[in-house]
Amino acid sequence: MLQKLAQLLDDWSRHGSKRVGVKAAAEWLRMEYAHHLQSQDFAVNNSYTSRLARDLIKAYPHLAAVIETRELRVA
């Protein structure tokens, strides 16, 4: 999942996107998988997209310049 998101964010940044939201990328991936696989089985819990953003930056540091993050709120 992280690799697919990283590839997508790399593509978007190469095509001119200065800042991107991981939630938007996750939604895009969800729709792509549903369309190509003719299935709704691909799941990304929206509650964890902020954590995915931080995992992406950790695994792919070059994405830190394009991924939008906010301060985490702990309940």
Confidence of residue 75 (pLDDT cuts 50, 70, 90): low
- Cα–Cα distance for residue pair 19/71, rounded to 1 Å: 16
Summarised one tens digit per residue, pLDDT across range 8-58 is: 889 988 888 788 888 888 888 888 776 666 655 656 677 788 888 999 999
DSSP letter, residue 39: -
- Cα–Cα distance for residue pair 50/46, rounded to 1 Å: 8
pLDDT of amino acid 73? 72
Tokens in use for 69? 């993050």
pTM of the model: 0.74
Confidence of residue 60 (pLDDT cuts 50, 70, 90): very high
Kindly state the average pLDDT of the residues 4-9.
Answer: 89
Question: Of 71, 66, 52, which Cα lies nearest the Cα of 20?
Answer: 66
β-strand partners of 32: none
DSSP states along 13-26: HHTT-SSB-HHHHH
